[in-house]
Each structure stands twice: as C-alpha cells, then as structure tokens.
Amino acid sequence: MISNAHLRPAWLGVSLYSVIALAALVALLSYASPSSWGSFFSDPYTWRVVRFSFMQASLSALLSILLAIPMASCLFHRRFWGRQTLLSLFAISMVVPTIVAILGIVVVYGRNGWFTALFGQPFPLYGLGGILIAHVFFNMPLAVRIILQAYDLIPDAQWRLASQLGFSRWRVFQLVEWHYLKKNLPGLFLLIFMLCFSGFAVVLSLGGGPRSSTLEVAIYQALRFEFDLNKASYLSLLQVVICSVVALAVYRFAPPVRQDVSLYQGGRLPLRSSKWTSGLDYGVLSVVLLWVLPPFVAILSPVFTELFWLSLLDSQLWRGLWHSVRIALPSGVLALLMGLSIAAIARAWRWHPRRNRWAVRLEQSGNLVLMVPSLVLATGLFLLFRHLGVSIKHAYWIVVWVNAVMALPFVLRAIMPVMYQQEKRFRQLYQQMNIVGWSRLRIEWRTIRPALAQGLAYAVLLSLGDLGVVALFGSKGLETLPMYLYQLIGSYRVEQGACVAVVLIGLCLVLFYGITRLLGGRRAVV
Amino acid sequence: MLSFDVQYQWQNFEAHYQGQFAVGATSILGASGCGKSTLLSLLGGYVVGQGSIGFSGQDLSLSPPFERPITTLFQSDNLFPQLSVWDNVAIGICASRSLSSAQKEKVTWALEQVQLSDCHTKYPDQLSGGQAQRVAIARVLVRDKPILLLDEPFSALDPKLRSDMLVLIKTLTETYQWTTVMVTHSPADAVLLGGNVLLVEAGKIVAQTDAKKLYELPSESPFCDYLSVS
C-alpha cells in the first residue's frame, strides 16, 4: 500500500488527539454513578443554566454573524485608509486574552466607566448585556475573517462576469457571494455558538451571579469547590448532548453549493455602486468600530502612567511571561501538527469514491472538542495520570496538550480551505507523478504557508490567553500572565493589573507578528 | 465604427494599438504572447491603458466594463456555476431576474436560437463545453450590444462543433449588424468567420487583409511569415 504509507505520520497526529481525548473522557466517566443523576435531572437550577447558556450562545452567534457579513463585504470591496490596521485589530481582538478584554470592557462599560461618564447612567453590564458585548467583541472579528476567506475562494472570473453584466454590490452579493458564503455560515454559526455555549471566563466575570451562569461555570464549580466528579460528569455529558443536537441540526440544514475552480486570475474590476450600499458600508463600519475600539484604547491607556514603568520591575511579571511562553509555543506547534494530520487524511479521502463520507466526519471530529469542556478534558487527563501512577508535576504537559486540543478547531478553520483547494485543483497531477508527503508539502509550501502561519498564530495566542485549565492547576508552578492578572484583579490591584494586561497584549502582538511574518512570509494576511 | 489608439505597458511588455473595426467580422491572428488578448481586454475594459477608444462619437476609454456597448465572450468561465441555464441568460437582461413577459420570451427565443431550449433548468456543470458556450452566446443575444469580442471562446471544442459555432457567430453578426472581433490561433477559423483579418506582433497591428485572400497573399506580406510557422 504505497499510496497510504505516506499518511502514517498523519495517523500518529490524529491519534495524539483522539486517543488521549477519549482516554481522558473515559477516566472521568469512570467516576460517574448515573443512578444518582435523577436528582441532578430534576434540579431546576441546572435547567435554568441550560436555558441561559443556550440563549446567550444563540444571540451571540447571530449578532456576530449579522454584523460580520456586511463588514466582510465592505472590507472586501472597499480600499480605505486604515483598512489594513482594522484587519490587524480584528486578528488581535479574536485572540486577545479573555481576561484582558474583560478588563477593557469593564473600564468602558463598568459602573464608573466611560459609558457612565458620557451618558450619565450606567450600562447594564453584569448579565446578558455584558456577556453579549464581550462575546461579540471576540467572535465578530473571527466571523469577519472566516467570511473573508470564503470571499477569497470566489474565482476572479466571477467578478469579471459581474462587472461586464453591470451588477450592483447587492446583486453581486445575491447572485455570487451568497452562494459561496452560505456554505460556510452553518459551520461558522456552530463554531461561535459552541465557543459561547461553553463560555467560561466571560460568564464568570460578567455573568453577575447564578442567574446568568453557563454549564461550563457550573462544571468549574463542581470540580474546583465541591470536587464532585459525579456531578461534573453529568454536566459534561449534558453539554456534549446539547452541542451534538445543535451540530446535527445545523449540518442537516446546511445547503449544498455548486462551486467551481477557475484558472483565470485577474485584477479588481469595478461594480456598479449605489448610495444604499455606501450608506450601509459606513453604518456597519461605525457600529463595528464603536464595538471593538474603545476596550482596546482602555487597555492601552495605562502605558502613560508612572505605575506602568514601575510594575515592569516586578519579577513575578517576568516569571509569568516565561511560563506563558513555555506553555503557548509548544501547544501552538502541537495544535498545528494535529491540524495538519487531520487535513492530510481528510483531503486524501475527500475525493475517494468510498471514503469521501469519512473525510467530512474526520474534519468535524476536530470541532468535536468544542463540545467537551476543556476543564473536563484536563480533569480527565489528571485522573488518568493519577491512575497510571504519574505524579502531578506533569501538569505542564496536561496544560500544553489541552490548550493544543482547544485550539484545534481554529487551526482547522485556518488551514482546511486552502488544503482542500490545492487537492481539488492538482490532485490528478500529484497522482500522475506520485508526488506525496514531504515533496508535495515543498511544492505547496508557498501557497499554504500564510494559512499555516495563521493557524499557528491563533493556536499560540489562544493558549497564551487561557485561563480555564491553568486556573485548575495554576498553583503548581504554572503561574502564567493571565493567572497573575486574575490574582491582581481579585485582590483589587486593578491598576497594576492593567499594566500586566499591557505587557500581555505586547507579548501577543510580538508573537502574532513574529509567527505570521516568519512562517507566513511576506504574503501573509496580518 | 470602433476606433482605438491605446498604449499599454505591463512589466517588459509594451503595446501600442491603433486602428478601427467596421461593422462585420474581424479576426486577430498572432503568435502566443504577442498581445492579441491584451487588445481585447483593453477594448472590453478589463485592463486600463492610455489613449482613446471611441464608438459612435462616444469615448469609452474610461468607462467601466458594464457601461461599454460591448459583450465579451471569454475562453472559459462565461457562466455562473451556481445559476441555472435560464438564469445565466436572464441576468443578461436584468440582474434581478424579475423579467416582464416580453423579456421572458426573449430569453426563450435566445435559447431557441442556440438550440438549448430543453436545457433551461440545467446547471453549467451538467453541460458539455460546447453547450456552455452556446448558453453564453444566448446571453450575448439578449444583451443586444453592438460590439462582440471573442477571446478564443471555442478553442477547447472539437473541429465540427467549432465550425458550427463560427458559422452561428457569422450568421448572427450579419443578421444583427454587430461589430465582431475574434482573437484566434487558427487561420482556418479566421477564414470561416470571414470579414477582415489582422496580424498582431509584439503589441502592434502589423498587417491587415480580407479573410478570403488570406492564403493568396504575396510572399513579402507579414502574414506569410506567420502562416508558414503556424
């Protein structure tokens, strides 16, 4: 089986993800006693949490996508001053550590914040309002970038034809763009829904009490405060079941799309413009800027204070920075390797007459992890290690692996479209000359490296901002910057915390630009 | 009369086209990379050069493609794969596809002209290459523009189908008094389409003749050089 031998390293990558995840889940579930679940099931608090999780996740996903579609269209069709900066800002706001963004949002919308100063009355931040502000802040930019990637897959020939036929922006959206976007929207909705459904840090900080809690927070409470593995297992299973039902429903109604590949490559051609589309562009741009910009300004404002320069001398800050980097870089690389493994096998199956159904399932399995709370994976892995007699000093590897797995859906989103497109266009050429494995990667390198860089950068930055898993093991010599920041905010040293936030953002920027330039090359989308 | 005097530069390639196309068919011959398709792209508005392009007293050189009285038939990708045959033709009249009954009849008529009436519900990926180009021709008919530019649109078709297409284009050009300009690699196609033949070399129009006389030219004609190696 020469044709399959080159996929062996990929299988290793896939099992590194799936076998360990399965083992961790089994380890946790072995502590479950389903006979006692009846009392959990009839608990009205659980169902209130489920209802609220469901509502806030659906609203967050809908709002993010409804804003992202006109925003992406505007960014694709218009060239304006600051466009590139805005795209970079989106990239950052997607991966800015949650706790940092929450800090920025509190400064803007909090009781004594800018909003109160401007309008004379406070914004109802704690509860659904704050959760939506934060979730859209994180996920609308993600949606814009994923939709822009779909735009890039529209063949140039379609724009040439649209220009010849005198289509307006609205018409071109209806007849061309929508056919390419709608294939991506169900998956995108699902991604954002699951991210918000299992929202942890945002809901913990801005939920404002048990009235607006999510399952993930309930699981954290069960694990951290009650150490009730049985209850945690029940709540995790409940989360997995709800997410699976939503996923099945979304994929069932996902429309099939006729997509083509064209060899024509041309420049940008004019479309018929109208006042309506210009007005919509400016309107959407204003809403998005008002949503995303103020928290950033709020985070960066402490740079001009003396306290900022003083807190740079704090040795705990630099220790936190070192721990953050030594977790984030390996877990980013691990996530990219696992993502590439899934991509390699999925695309080898995609056009195979019998295995093509499995390609989609394999790709979806990378997203499955969004349904499984990271805390559950981490606890499961911890129990597994304990069962195998490995001591807790290996919590480092647990954190690295869980962070890598959690970043996998983002890595897949970044690399799958271009990996599939290469396969679709050149599959027969590669088959004819039997170019596989390493030699194929070298040929494709120039085309796929911007996507790989984007995937790696997301994974590293997500891991850098993680507060969930590291909060569970945080006291064992893994005090990362977000942990340190969380402790500072907890002990009401908010101003010093704001300074740590600036350093953390700086680190994010350095790593993001470093990775996209070094791995992505000059063509990388930043 | 479509007249033009345009210059265009891209990397090491420099072109300067001067001339005019009368009503009727004109074919453009020339070696690969000599700038045949560039001339068509300049006329269609898909690349912008310097100079003037005039038609019936109107300067087109700065107009976007959709404001020029021109339909271009490209070598490939003339149809939207996500739209049915009927819709692909209908968008030539009105992008919203909300047609009056007279306009609907026009679409039906155009599909009849290219003998594809029974394919109107199909999608482009269910058509052969020749059928796809005929759908594009049906859209040319409903768009009803006085100028038709053809950028080797039949080069991928087999000889019989190709000659059928050329005869169809020739008939339509004569019937509707179009100014039709076709870029081709094949002198035989130019002869079949009839009308004038131009020769382009290194970004310039270097010779012109009647299609009927293409094979009877004196040996010093630049065409002879091209024909002997093509």
Q: Are A281 and A74 in contact (CB under 8 A)?
A: yes
**A158 vs B47: CB contact, 8 Å cut-off?**
no
pLDDT in tens, B197-219: 999 999 999 999 999 888 888 88
Q: Is B77 on the interface with A (CB under 8 A)?
A: yes
Question: Residue A370 — very low, low, confident or very high, per pLDDT cuts 50/70/90?
Answer: confident
Residue A476, pLDDT score: 60
| Pairing relationship of beta strands B50-55 and B2-10 according to DSSP bridges | antiparallel
Same domain, A294 and A375: no
Q: Is A23 on the interface with B (CB under 8 A)?
A: no
Count of structural domains within chain A: 2
Same domain, A326 and A187: no
By residue count, chain A amounts to 526
Q: A125-128 contacts: CB < 8 A, separation 24 or more?
A: A125/A206, A125/A208, A126/A206, A126/A207, A126/A208, A126/A209, A126/A212, A127/A206, A127/A207, A127/A208, A127/A211, A127/A212, A128/A55, A128/A56, A128/A59, A128/A212
Q: Is A261 on the interface with B (CB under 8 A)?
A: no
Same domain, A9 and A129: no
Same domain, A295 and A321: no
Same domain, B139 and B176: no
Please provide the DSSP assignment of A2-46 as one string.
HHHHTTHHHHHHHHHHHHHHHHHHHHHHTT--GGGHHHHHT-HHH
Which phi and psi (to 5°) does residue A305 adopt?
Answer: -100, 160
Same domain, B94 and B195: no
Residue A393, pLDDT score: 66
Mean pLDDT for chain B overall:
90
In a domain, A447, yes or no: yes
Q: CA–CA separation, B183 vs B150, rounded Å?
A: 6
Q: CA–CA separation, B158 vs A251, rounded Å?
A: 42
Query: Which residues does A331 contact at the CB level (< 8 Å), separation at least 6?
Result: A399, A400, A401, A403, A404, A407, A459, A460, A463
Give the DSSP H or E segment for A442: helix A437-465
Which candidate, A146, A250, A149, A148, places its Cα nearest to that of A197? A250
Domain boundary residue among B129, B144, B159?
B144
Which residues in chain A are closer than 8 Å to B46, comparing Cβ atoms?
160, 163, 266-267, 269
Span A402-423, average pLDDT: 88
Same domain, B114 and B201: no
Greatest alpha-carbon pair distance for chain A in Å reads 73
Q: Which domain holds residue A515?
A: 1-30+305-526
In a domain, A1, yes or no: yes
Same domain, B136 and B81: yes
Same domain, B59 and B172: yes
Same domain, B140 and B164: no
Same domain, B162 and B221: yes
**A158 vs B74: CB contact, 8 Å cut-off?**
no
Residue A5, pLDDT score: 73
Return the minimum-mean-pLDDT range out of A55-64, A456-465, A496-505, B84-93.
Answer: A496-505
Q: Domain of A76: which CATH number?
A: 1.10.3720.10
Same domain, B10 and B53: yes
Q: Are B218 and B209 in contact (CB under 8 A)?
A: no
Q: Is B72 on the interface with A (CB under 8 A)?
A: yes
Q: Is B109 on the interface with A (CB under 8 A)?
A: no
Count of structural domains within chain B: 2
pLDDT in tens, A180-203: 888 889 888 988 998 898 778 888
In a domain, A392, yes or no: yes
Which residues in chain A are closer than 8 Å to B76, comparing Cβ atoms?
157, 262-264
Span A515-525, average pLDDT: 77
Same domain, B172 and B220: yes
Q: Are B43 and B5 in contact (CB under 8 A)?
A: no
Residue B184, pLDDT score: 92
Residue A266, pLDDT score: 67
In a domain, A40, yes or no: no
pLDDT in tens, B174-197: 999 999 999 998 899 999 999 999
**A260 vs B125: CB contact, 8 Å cut-off?**
yes
Query: Which residues does A286 contact at the CB level (< 8 Å), separation at least 6?
Result: none
Q: Domain of B204: which CATH number?
A: 3.40.50.300
Q: Are A289 and A89 in contact (CB under 8 A)?
A: no
Same domain, B140 and B150: no
pLDDT in tens, A109-137: 887 788 888 888 888 888 899 999 999 99
Same domain, B48 and B93: no
Q: Which domain holds residue B123?
A: 77-144
What distance in Å separates residue A235's CA from the closest CA in chain B?
44
Q: Is A165 on the interface with B (CB under 8 A)?
A: yes
- Name the most confidently modeled range: A27-36, A300-309, A482-491, A509-518: A509-518
Which residues in chain B are closer than 8 Å to A264, comparing Cβ atoms?
74, 76-77
**A176 vs B82: CB contact, 8 Å cut-off?**
yes
Which residues in chain B are closer than 8 Å to A179, comparing Cβ atoms?
82
Return the minimum-mean-pLDDT range out of A374-383, A391-400, B215-224.
Answer: A391-400
In a domain, A190, yes or no: yes
Please provide the DSSP assignment of B10-72 as one string.
ETTEEEEEEEEE-SEEEEEE--TTSSHHHHHHHHHTSS--EEEEEETTEE-TTS-GGGSSEEE
In a domain, A443, yes or no: yes
Interface of A with B in 48-107 (CB under 8 A): none
Tell me: pLDDT of B229 over 60.
no
**A175 vs B83: CB contact, 8 Å cut-off?**
yes
Residue of A nearest to B72 (CA): A164
pLDDT in tens, B44-59: 988 888 999 999 889 9
Same domain, B162 and B150: yes
- Name which of B44, B47, B77 is nearest A155 (Cβ-Cβ): B77
Span B18-39, average pLDDT: 92
